[in-house]
Amino acid sequence: MKTIDELLAEGVKGKRVFVRADLNVPLAEGTITDDGRIRAVQPTIAKLAEAGARVVVASHLGRPKGAPEPAFSLAPAAARLGELLGADVAFATDTVGSSAKETVAALTDGQVAVIENLRFNAGETSKDDAERGAFADALAELADIYVGDGFGAVHRKHASVFDLPARLPHAAGQLIATEVGVLKKLTDEVKRPYVVVLGGAKVSDKLAVIDQLLGKADRILIGGGMAYTFLYAKGHEVGISLLQKDQVDKVKEYMARAESTGVELVLPVDILASSDFPDLKTKAPAEYITVDADKIPADKEGLDIGPKTRELYASKIADAATVFWNGPLGVFEHPDYAGGTRAIAQALVDSDAFTVVGGGDSAAAVRTLGFDENAFGHISTGGGASLEYLEGKTLPGLAALEG
């Protein structure tokens, strides 16, 4: 896989360099609420611009259905990128149409442009190779060189991620190189004890990574909505908590494997439970009780790990040499149920381990709760991509850059 430093050494002055970034940032009424992904790709874009490249930045945002939807426009992301670069960033109002062609043609050495949301074109995500390839052909006309730096999308077989690199000389950007280097420390070069913290809503989203980690991790700490399927599998009442009954047999199998292989699989010992899901818009005070994890009332739902579990999990992290965390431990968007997620983040900060926050909601939680990003070893920009890498899957975007 060619690096951006190798590309820069060859010279990019005057060349159109297509950067597949991940500018998929959360928006609230057109305002960016977390610019972490833009800040993560900014160094690659800045390096190329400083070297005299004519930089064409592309990304998706949200899940539009193959046609323009104003709510998913990349215009706010382009404006924020300009602020971070300290330079004007041109914006094309389409992907491969007249605006994109004119905007790119008008670039001079060192200038940057962002084209509109790639998913406004059905070819970006099409499962039909020909349709996807046709869109990749059109994108290739905008550039001389391809740089892949959208780590959050490398697990997708999309036109701009998988097909376009085959049509242009290509290299990996600084962010992707960093992300892959970190993931190797979680797979091939692990320092022990190795502790994994898994949260989030659905256990089905994490089964494949648990399957892999049972042969690698020393301890796996379970929280979030997925914990209730584990508790149910142990025979405990979980009330109206999130439960995937179709996964119970698989969870039982994994618990048995953990015991037989000496992996410590740790479940919550107490829970914050309520009859009502909290109002995440007004964030009005919630009414809840703290109960033992095996005594959740039939009419209540678990919404966060309790204080005893927070202490237990912090103690399991304290002596770790490596920690990977993916998924919040409760409904962190509401202040009354953010305590578990906050406790895990603080435990990572307090440890001497190499700590990795695995993107997605975990990264959003770290920022929302006010933690200094520099206090962690690495905050990934791609939760899904990180998990699929740890599952041992081939990621299309990385395979394309290696080709």
Q: Which amino acid is at 178?
A: T
> Which sign does the torsion angle of CA 49, 51, 54, 56 carry?
negative
- Among this protein's residues, is 37 annotated catalytic? yes
- Among this protein's residues, is 36 annotated catalytic? no
Catalytic residue among 37, 47, 219, 300: 37
CA–CA separation, 106 vs 144, rounded Å? 15
The DSSP call for residue 3 is: B
> Which sign does the torsion angle of CA 369, 371, 373, 379 carry?
negative
CA–CA separation, 385 vs 270, rounded Å? 31
Q: Which residues contact 70 (CB under 8 A, 6 or more apart)?
A: none
- Among this protein's residues, is 384 annotated catalytic? yes
Taking phi over 0 as left and psi of -120 to 50 as alpha, with beta for the rest, 327 belongs to: left
- Among this protein's residues, is 202 annotated catalytic? yes
Segment (H or E) for 257 = helix 248-261
Q: Which amino acid is at 153?
A: A
Catalytic residue among 200, 360, 383, 397: 360
CA–CA separation, 366 vs 346, rounded Å? 10
Of 62, 64, 58, nearest to 121 by C-alpha is: 64
Backbone phi and psi for residue 190, each to the nearest 5 degrees, phi listed first: -80, 130
Catalytic residue among 340, 359, 384, 397: 384
Torsion, Cα of 70, 73, 77, 79 (10° steps): -70
CA–CA separation, 350 vs 347, rounded Å? 5
Catalytic residue among 202, 252, 257, 393: 202
Residues assigned a catalytic role: 37, 202, 360, 384
